[in-house]
């Protein structure tokens, strides 16, 4: 498995899909409230900053800034809570998530963050599931603000360790050289433009949009009738700027090379070896030495 750097302060798009592409997250009041609670708790535990989330019927996309360099811990908390909670609700016991790792895409510049914010917030329209972003009945948050997530009335013990309610704050990403107002307008414009473009694409393909009612009534144990693309590349960095992307990929290649060298030395019992900045698992599990930023 190729190591991936986890960099404090970096912004990521996180994606995870349900097993066998089943609609286990089909939008309902129960699913929406349960996911919101699990998300709020995971954010509370790890102090990531949440910027956007959309929960589709068989996957989710989330954009966060990993302030402390603990992104895998955030994803672990979120995924295990959602899986246990929704499995209980659906009366099932098998794996909830697909066997592939969660996708972490490092958004390396302001352009990438704005682009992926629009991608996430327009995901239901892009899929043809709904005609307007605002009409998606699943969890769909992209505007800054505070939300109160209440513990679901199922799965969690009434007098257990989990809090009755958790406050969740959604914030704007901090973009270099851009004020909060500028950032907000840029994201709103990108979302509006993408929504319009995706609507035109769906119509040009001769397809009809789904409805909120149809989304709510889907069988959670069914799957899409379309074939899933297989053996496609899983990107680790994103930016529309070619030169920036080349630089980011070069840094990633160097990280992997240095990490593997350090790992080889560690396996030879050389405990003073220094791992590259961004090393996560070895730092958490074994407290290895890591380079400074």
pLDDT one-digit tens code per residue, 167-195: 999 999 999 989 999 999 999 999 999 99
pLDDT of 136 over the 70 cut: yes
The CB density around residue 11, as the number of other CB atoms within 10 Å, is 25
Question: Distances in Å between the alpha carbon of 266 and those of 4, 113, 160, 241?
Answer: 18, 36, 41, 37
**Beta-ladder partners of 17:** 59
User: How is the chain split into domains, by residue range?
Assistant: 10-222+234-240, 245-290
CATH of domain 10-222+234-240: 3.30.70.1290
Of the pLDDT bands very low, low, confident and very high (cuts 50, 70, 90), residue 101 is confident
Work out the average pLDDT over 119-132. 97
pLDDT higher than threshold 70 for residue 36: yes
User: What pLDDT does residue 293 have?
Assistant: 84
Angle 110-121/180-204 helices, nearest 10 degrees? 50
Between CA 57 and CA 215 the distance in angstroms is 8
Which pLDDT tens digit goes with each residue over 194-222? Answer: 999 999 999 999 999 999 999 999 999 99
Write out pLDDT tens, residues 213-254: 999 999 999 999 877 666 566 789 999 999 999 999 999 999
Can you give the pLDDT at residue 1? 72
CA atoms within 13 A on the CB side of 32: 14
Mean per-residue pLDDT of the chain = 95
Straight-line distance from the first to the last Cα atom of the chain, in angstroms, rounded to the nearest whole number: 24
Give pLDDT, residue 232.
Answer: 63
293: tokens are 């930023």
DSSP state of 181: H
Looking at residue 228, its pLDDT comes to 67
Torsion of CA 228, 232, 235, 240, to 10 degrees: -90
Token pair of 266 as six digits = 């560690």
Nearest-angstrom CA–CA distance, 76 and 42: 8
The C-alpha atoms of residue 55 and residue 254 are separated, in whole angstroms, by 34
Average pLDDT, stretch 51-79? Answer: 97
List the structure tokens of 193.
Answer: 């433009």
Return d(Cα 133, Cα 129) in angstroms, integer.
10
Task: Out of 83-87, 137-141, 158-162, 210-214, pick the least confident.
Answer: 158-162
Question: Coil, strand, or helix at residue 106?
Answer: strand
């Amino acid at each position: 498995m190729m190591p991936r750097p986890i960099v404090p302060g970096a912004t990521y798009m996180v994606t995870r899909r349900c097993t066998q592409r089943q609609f286990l997250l089909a939008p309902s009041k129960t699913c929406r409230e349960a996911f919101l609670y699990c998300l709020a708790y995971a954010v509370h535990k790890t102090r990531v900053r949440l910027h956007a989330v959309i929960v589709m019927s068989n996957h989710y996309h989330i954009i966060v800034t990993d302030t402390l360099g603990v992104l895998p811990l955030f994803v672990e908390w979120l995924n295990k809570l959602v899986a246990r909670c929704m499995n209980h609700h659906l009366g099932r016991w098998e794996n909830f998530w697909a066997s592939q790792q969660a996708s972490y895409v490092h958004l390396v510049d302001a352009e990438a963050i704005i682009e992926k914010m629009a991608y996430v917030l327009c995901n239901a329209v892009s899929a043809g599931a709904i005609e307007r972003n605002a009409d998606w009945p699943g969890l769909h948050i992209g505007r800054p603000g505070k939300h109160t997530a209440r513990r679901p009335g199922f799965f969690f013990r009434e007098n257990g360790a989990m809090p009755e309610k958790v406050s969740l704050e959604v914030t704007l990403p901090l973009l270099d050289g851009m004020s909060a107002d500028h950032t907000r307008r840029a994201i709103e414009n990108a979302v509006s433009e993408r929504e319009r473009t995706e609507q035109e694409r769906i119509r040009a393909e001769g397809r009809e949009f789904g409805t909120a009612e149809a989304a709510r009534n889907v069988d959670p144990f069914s799957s899409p009738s379309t074939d899933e693309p297989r053996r496609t590349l899983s990107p680790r960095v994103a930016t529309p700027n070619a030169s920036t992307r080349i630089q980011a990929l070069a840094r990633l290649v160097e990280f992997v090379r240095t990490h593997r060298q350090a790992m080889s030395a560690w396996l030879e019992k050389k405990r003073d070896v220094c791992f590259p900045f961004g090393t996560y698992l070895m730092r958490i599990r074994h407290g290895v030495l890591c380079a400074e930023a």
